[in-house]
A and B are shown apart, each in its own frame.
Chain A
């Protein structure tokens, strides 16, 4: 394995992310923070939502930010670079197995998703306070879940980025990302679906459910959430599946 090439590519991605930092900041945080403000602050303050909703909302918003960032960071460049600009060709010709280029993309996406996740906590907390009852009894478990969520976003980005046509980017958001967010227990806990038993079982095929519930389980364990074992098994399963699918598609795109 050529680690020099691998780290050089990571440095390139970090350099590009630094250059686009302000745009990335707005793209990642503006919409979720507006949601936090309206639903967590305005609607709770006006009595339309219970005060506990503030605490329930924060892990979900963190999951949305992380997943959105990872998918965007990995999928969008891949779609453009493979199909239109062909920028990726230079890196495909670097002296390194091409699978490692895909893994580098996943690592870069994971790091960006983690950064987004950890930046949104204080921002959302500031918007929501007082009344946010954050409680992280096991920081290590929280870190493991956060890494698994970030990995899910990046592997999802890899799988989507290598299977979508450039002309279908709009469809990717309306058919994949939007339903995943709305049925991903981000704005409500999984237990809230008890009155909709079929829907409650159906949403378990959505990996974002495990991400949101995992963050709830480790950040606000006092509220109902999916068992942590189910969360970890679910996230590991989807990460492995998406990584395998993504690597296969990446190979298919790279070598004809």
Chain B
């Protein structure tokens, strides 16, 4: 039976830096715990602020957002590593925090940073992982061989992983997560640090795994990856879902689709008002400094008209950046910030 993923109003508030092994990215380790003095309240970090998701069985779902948005914490809650402050999380029918062992059988997890067993060779890592999940020795050896082959690691199979490159470690981490054939696969920033060729191999393998009927939850801040792989995605920021839908639906929800980022010599409310009147312009927003964001249903053809209006208003047009309909535009539209900021 293929399992889906569901979260209900998940909240996670940290009152101290989380332990590194809890799988939450974006925090440094070794930070001293703040000591409570008298009744002074502990500083709180709201990592998740009411995340509700319903991911269908057999779906590739993506959590897109900048660093610190709450993607890894969501994955942590769903994989038994981060206890939510409130709310519920389910894998299939099973409440993650009431049936941890059952849930762990159903999931495979690729963490944001490599966490391979450095005391073992690549093949041993896969074989011991299979043993933890109760696979027979014959089955373990067979699956390990097939995965090493699939991930192009056969020639390094019997070497210690300490000397592996980042890309090889990442491939092996994904192979390990697939070793026990989980129903739900979590990939936390899987292509971070991978070269383009390996990234394409990864995408191919993810699609192939999904075609065998498995559910995949992937986090990324790479819009291209989300666009290429996901059936649906949620954009999250500051622990909240700010948009949810298919990549096409979400891109279509940006007014006009195209974004022209203008940098002007001086701030001119009059010019912004005139720009709003141009044919095809849906929305004009002043940005920090002397800039303006134009959401429109066309890109390049508008530039000449914008330049003419600026010249007529006596405002210097220093720079124009045109973005075609993209998830980046969507994020910018919702938050006023770029995903990379």
Chains A and B form a bound pair: yes
Interface residue ranges, A against B (CB under 8 Å) = 2, 4-5, 8-9, 11-12, 15-16, 19-20, 81-83, 85-97, 165-167, 252-256
Instruction: Please indicate the chain A residues that have their CB under 8 angstroms from the CB of B43 in the complex.
Output: none
Are B105 and A95 in contact, CB atoms less than 8 angstroms apart? Answer: yes
Are A83 and B80 in contact, CB atoms less than 8 angstroms apart? Answer: no
Asked whether B295 is an interface residue with its Cβ less than 8 Å from the other chain, the reply is no
Instruction: Please indicate the chain B residues that have their CB under 8 angstroms from the CB of A254 in the complex.
Output: 19, 21-22, 81
Chain A's nearest CB lies how many Å from the CB of B103? Answer: 9
Are B101 and A2 in contact, CB atoms less than 8 angstroms apart? Answer: yes
CB-based closest 6 A-B pairs: A256-B22, A8-B131, A256-B18, A94-B132, A86-B115, A16-B119
Are B21 and A90 in contact, CB atoms less than 8 angstroms apart? Answer: no
Report the Cα distance A20→B160, complex, angstroms.
13
Instruction: Please indicate the chain A residues that have their CB under 8 angstroms from the CB of B124 in the complex.
Output: 15
Instruction: Please indicate the chain B residues that have their CB under 8 angstroms from the CB of A88 in the complex.
Output: 21, 115
Are A82 and B19 in contact, CB atoms less than 8 angstroms apart? Answer: yes
Report the Cα distance A86→B19, complex, angstroms.
11
Instruction: Please indicate the chain A residues that have their CB under 8 angstroms from the CB of B132 in the complex.
Output: 5, 8-9, 90-91, 94-96
Known contacts A165-B30, A255-B81; A16/B21 CB under 8 A: no
Chain B's nearest CB lies how many Å from the CB of A21? Answer: 13
> Quick one: which of B24, B81, B125, B176 contacts A92, CB cutoff 8 A?
B81
Are A93 and B109 in contact, CB atoms less than 8 angstroms apart? Answer: yes
Instruction: Please indicate the chain B residues that have their CB under 8 angstroms from the CB of A12 in the complex.
Output: 117, 120, 128, 131
Interface residue tally for chain B (C-beta within 8 Å): 41
Are A255 and B83 in contact, CB atoms less than 8 angstroms apart? Answer: yes
Instruction: Please indicate the chain B residues that have their CB under 8 angstroms from the CB of A96 in the complex.
Output: 101, 104, 132
7 extra interface residue pairs, beta carbon distance < 8 Å, beyond A11-B131, A252-B19, A256-B81: A4-B131, A86-B111, A90-B176, A92-B21, A97-B101, A253-B21, A256-B83
Instruction: Please indicate the chain A residues that have their CB under 8 angstroms from the CB of B109 in the complex.
Output: 89, 93
Known contacts A85-B115, A87-B116, A95-B133; A256/B101 CB under 8 A: no
* 1/0 contact string of B229-272 vs chain A (CB within 8 Å): 00000000000000000000000000000000000000000000
Chain B's nearest CB lies how many Å from the CB of A80? Answer: 9
Report the Cα distance A167→B80, complex, angstroms.
28
CB-defined A-B contacts under 8 Å, sample of 8: A2-B134, A5-B134, A85-B115, A93-B80, A95-B101, A95-B134, A97-B101, A255-B83
Instruction: Please indicate the chain A residues that have their CB under 8 angstroms from the CB of B18 in the complex.
Output: 256
> Quick one: which of B23, B30, B83, B120 contacts A89, CB cutoff 8 A?
B23
Are B117 and A166 in contact, CB atoms less than 8 angstroms apart? Answer: no
Chain A's nearest CB lies how many Å from the CB of B130? Answer: 9
Instruction: Please indicate the chain A residues that have their CB under 8 angstroms from the CB of B134 in the complex.
Output: 2, 4-5, 95
Minimum CB distance partner of A19 in chain B: B119
Asked whether B88 is an interface residue with its Cβ less than 8 Å from the other chain, the reply is no
> Quick one: which of B20, B79, B82, B120 contacts A93, CB cutoff 8 A?
B79
Chain B's nearest CB lies how many Å from the CB of A40? Answer: 35
Instruction: Please indicate the chain B residues that have their CB under 8 angstroms from the CB of A20 in the complex.
Output: 119
Report the Cα distance A252→B82, complex, angstroms.
11
Instruction: Please indicate the chain B residues that have their CB under 8 angstroms from the CB of A89 in the complex.
Output: 21, 23, 81, 109, 111, 115
Are B21 and A93 in contact, CB atoms less than 8 angstroms apart? Answer: no
Are A256 and B76 in contact, CB atoms less than 8 angstroms apart? Answer: yes
Are A256 and B14 in contact, CB atoms less than 8 angstroms apart? Answer: yes
* 1/0 contact string of B86-111 vs chain A (CB within 8 Å): 00000000000000111011010101
Chain B's nearest CB lies how many Å from the CB of A79? Answer: 11
Report the Cα distance A118→B82, complex, angstroms.
42
Chain A's nearest CB lies how many Å from the CB of B174? Answer: 13
Minimum CB distance partner of B30 in chain A: A165
Minimum CB distance partner of A85 in chain B: B118
> Quick one: which of A19, A83, A94 contacts B30, CB cutoff 8 A?
A83
Are A8 and B128 in contact, CB atoms less than 8 angstroms apart? Answer: yes
Are B131 and A87 in contact, CB atoms less than 8 angstroms apart? Answer: no
Minimum CB distance partner of A100 in chain B: B101
Are A90 and B22 in contact, CB atoms less than 8 angstroms apart? Answer: no
> Quick one: which of A9, A15, A82, A252 contacts B20, CB cutoff 8 A?
A82
Are B82 and A256 in contact, CB atoms less than 8 angstroms apart? Answer: yes
Chain A's nearest CB lies how many Å from the CB of B143? Answer: 15
Instruction: Please indicate the chain A residues that have their CB under 8 angstroms from the CB of B199 in the complex.
Output: none
Instruction: Please indicate the chain B residues that have their CB under 8 angstroms from the CB of A256 in the complex.
Output: 14, 18-19, 22, 24, 76, 81-83
Known contacts A97-B100, A253-B19, A256-B76; A90/B119 CB under 8 A: no
Are B76 and A90 in contact, CB atoms less than 8 angstroms apart? Answer: no
Are A16 and B120 in contact, CB atoms less than 8 angstroms apart? Answer: yes
- Give the interface centre of B79, B83, B114, B115 by most chain A CB atoms within 10 Å: B115
Report the Cα distance A12→B118, complex, angstroms.
12
**B50-100, CB < 8 A from A:** 76, 79-83, 100
Instruction: Please indicate the chain A residues that have their CB under 8 angstroms from the CB of B22 in the complex.
Output: 254-256
Report the Cα distance A254→B23, complex, angstroms.
9
Chain B's nearest CB lies how many Å from the CB of A107? Answer: 16
Asked whether B113 is an interface residue with its Cβ less than 8 Å from the other chain, the reply is yes
Report the Cα distance A237→B119, complex, angstroms.
34
